[in-house]
Amino acid sequence: MSEKGIFEHQPPMSQHAIARTQQRGVRRDVIALLMARYDVERLVGSGCTALSCSRAAVAKAREEGAAPSMVERLTGLVLVVAPDGTIVTVQNYETQFARYQRGYARLSARERARKAERRRRGGGQR
């Protein structure tokens, strides 16, 4: 699929997503490229899914000749998409996506070890 074909089909965006793209300086063509090339999906609640590209997908886009400026912006970009396909919001992975990591996955290795130790000891105070 050519890049021109990718950009012709743009999914609908909520007013919140439009505001966040303007606030964070994310171009619509980068969003279209991410929608065409994402390979990581995570459920984030309320039926929404977070879409992003792995390093391998970004490298493949670079190899296939996508514009370097677009590929660079693709790294670390996350789209939260509603079940009907509407883009709910646009986030930077490092700064925003951690809030959607639920429960055990959000804890660091040290925190998980402490939690396991407390369970072994029978609960108690932190």
| Residue 104 banded pLDDT, cuts 50, 70, 90 | very low
Q: What is the mean pLDDT of residues 88-92?
A: 90
Closest C-alpha to 79, from 7, 24, 5: 24
| Residue 115 banded pLDDT, cuts 50, 70, 90 | confident
DSSP codes of every residue in the chain: --HHHHHH----B-HHHHHHHHHHT--HHHHHHHHHH--EEEEEETTEEEEE--HHHHHHHHHTT--HHHHHHHTTEEEEE-TTS-EEEEEEHHHHGGGG--GGGGS-HHHHHHHHHHHHHT----
Q: How far, CA to CA in Å, does 26 sit from each of 35, 74, 75, 118?
A: 13, 9, 12, 44
| Residue 84 banded pLDDT, cuts 50, 70, 90 | very high
Q: Which amino acid is at 116?
A: A
User: Residue ranges of the domains in the chain?
Assistant: 3-101
Q: CA 61, 71, 49: angle at the middle one, nearest 5?
A: 85
pLDDT computed for residue 1 by the predictor: 44
Identify the weakest region by mean pLDDT among 21-30, 37-46, 75-84, 109-118.
109-118
pLDDT computed for residue 11 by the predictor: 82
